[in-house]
Chains A and B, each alone.
Chain A
Amino acid sequence: MHNSIVLVKQVPDTSNISGQVMKEDGTVNRAKLPAIFNFEDKVALEFALRIKDKFGGKVTAVTMGPPRASDVLRECLYMGADEAYLITDRKFAGADTLATSYVLSEAIKKIGHYDFVFAGRQAIDGDTAQVGPQTAEKLGIPQITYAEEILEVKERTVRVKRKIDGGNEVLESTLPVLVTVLKDAAELRPFAAKRVMTYKGAKSLLELEKLVEGNSLLYIDKLVYEYTNRSLFIPTLTADDLHIDVGRCGIKGSPTKVYAVESVVLAGSPPIRIENSRSGMNMLIDALMEDRILG
């Protein structure tokens, strides 16, 4: 039996930025970007599910984010996670990696016993790869980053193949350990149709509160009770629930600040246009030869 906690993140689809997403001051209007499941985190979930398939145990997905991040938690349930937690609070907003890792590590401690913490190597909105190692440090456990493959799992140890600069290495770590995984590390299982049917109705506390709003026949406590009984409740943890130091969360707890942003303005003169023709090519090659760029 090996229990895993998987850290997942909902990210803006930065590969799909169009004109209307940019505000006039050159900053990005996050709300206008489509939100997607950070792909490497799905691979992390796949790692955890494979360990569960082989050795038994429980897989718990955890995300910190705004209420709409429940979407990625439902996807975790579709793939096979046993449980999913939404860590959300206005006090967590604007967190850099240090503040994020603090909240995540406190949430992990609260959720309880684990042998593995899995996460994607990095999220596509920042590409920092910092939250994994920083969470491991705060939990006081070893980390294995850039994992490519789990080679062997034993009672109290694991062997992992990981990428290094110019090659790879095999590490053996004691458990518990935090492992961050690369995007090509595993083929994802498809959503199980039956699980999708069941869990598309899973709801977080905030989503249940929305149902209650303006409907005097519903009571939140009763709803939570019913959803919990049907395993459709996505538990929500706030700063109060975690009993944490709010000074270390969100903007307040983030040492790094965005001092300035500029939209990308390109300076420089326009290029010399070369005609798409044989004579155009001849001209270009002559110019390059004259400048001794080509010989």
Chain B
Amino acid sequence: MAKSGNDVWVFVEQREGRPVDVSLELLSKGRKLAESMNGVLKSVVMGEGATSIARETFLYGADESFVVEHPSLKTFRTLPYSRVMTSLVEQHTPRVVLFGATVIGRDLAPRVASHTRSGLTADCTDLRISDVSYLGKEYKSLLLQIRPAFGGNIIATIIAPDSPTQMATVREGVMEMLPLDQPHAGRVIEVPYQPNDIDELVHIVEQHRVENKVNLKGAPIIVAGGYGLGTKENFQLVHELAHTLGGEVAGSRAAVDAGFIPHERQVGQTGVTVRPKLYFAVGISGAIQHRAGMQEAKKIIAINTDPDAPIFDISHYGIVGDAMEIIPKFIEAYKSKLK
């Protein structure tokens, strides 16, 4: 087995010939991780038109790209993708492999980790490289996989000290996308696809995609509501405020679970990570999973009946009281300012 020193790999997910944002974000992060352990960053791209996507990954810091170009891999299917990825990992034993925590990444990564018996941590909110002393042993350049755990009451740092390959998934928007300033000459490594009967055990009958109209990630103003609003009717106020300010509506996981708002608009560790200019947190207590998705907003305004709600600790402005009274007052005051 050839060991590829301190390789950092990023599985690059493509949809209809385009790499998805989270993969480019992970390349940007992977670049830093590779640099901090003198390693090489490699992208893995499969599908039709994979070669041109591979070239795009060089703009985000990949030094090399494994390209598996084949019409059978045009659309993601678990069995061929995991088989190809597994055999690449087995052949090269990269030190780190990163996947986007998308439906595809969360389907593929565990299957590959299972076969290669690698440690895998889901939904990391931060990744770092560090020397670690653990149970009396010294480890060089381990991947620290940081994520909230246990309902957000703790932040856990997970390591996989004895795993030759350390794997992690990260949600879209968590890492910043940073194209290189200077063009970077990367190398394409072509990997042949060998068809296998196993790959055909599952086939796609049909597929429907709706253009995602929700763009929380790019919105400068976000008004988010939580479970504290109590009912879907009360949640309407959040929509009104967002409408007044020209912002997007979002919600906490609890609000999504309660059916106040669809999952596409969930902000937090298992939703979207946002960095708007202005973030209203209305009736959101501020569990760590939620904060993980919004704490980098430039200004945060919290409205909550509980003066001790943790959301106030990361807010710039705090209003204690009933949102049902406060929001109409705010809207009225804002409208009269504009006159």
Contact = CB atoms under 8 A, between A and B. Distances in A.
Contact of B204 (A12, A145, A146, A171): A171
A28 B150 contact: yes
A171 B203 contact: yes
A273 B320 contact: yes
Interface of A is mostly: mixed
Nearest to A274: B319
Given A127-B270, A262-B154, A281-B329, A255 B160 contact: yes
Interface residues of A, number: 79
A18 B51 CA distance: 52
A272 B317 contact: yes
A263 B288 CA distance: 10
A4 interface: no
Contacts of A129: 106, 110, 122
A217 interface: no
Main secondary structure of the interface of B (DSSP, over half): mixed
Interface stretch (A54-62, A64-72, A162-170): A162-170
A287 B337 CA distance: 12
A138 B102 CA distance: 22
B82 A284 contact: no
B134 A259 contact: yes
A14 B156 contact: no
Contacts of A287: 317
A172 B162 CA distance: 38
Interface string A131-167: 1111011100011111000000000000100011111
B207 A169 contact: yes
B115 interface: yes
Interface in A13-47: 14-15, 17, 21-22, 26-28
Interface stretch (B1-9, B37-45, B62-70, B307-315): B307-315
Interface in B124-179: 132, 134, 144-145, 148-163
A253 to B, nearest CB: 9
B281 to A, nearest CB: 11
Contact of A281 (B155, B205, B211, B330): B330
What 10 A-B pairs have minimum CB-CB distances, sorted nearest first? A14-B151, A255-B119, A266-B313, A167-B209, A271-B318, A281-B333, A276-B321, A134-B114, A130-B110, A133-B110
Given A17-B151, A293-B278, 9 more contacts: A26-B154, A142-B79, A167-B207, A170-B205, A170-B206, A261-B149, A261-B154, A264-B153, A291-B299
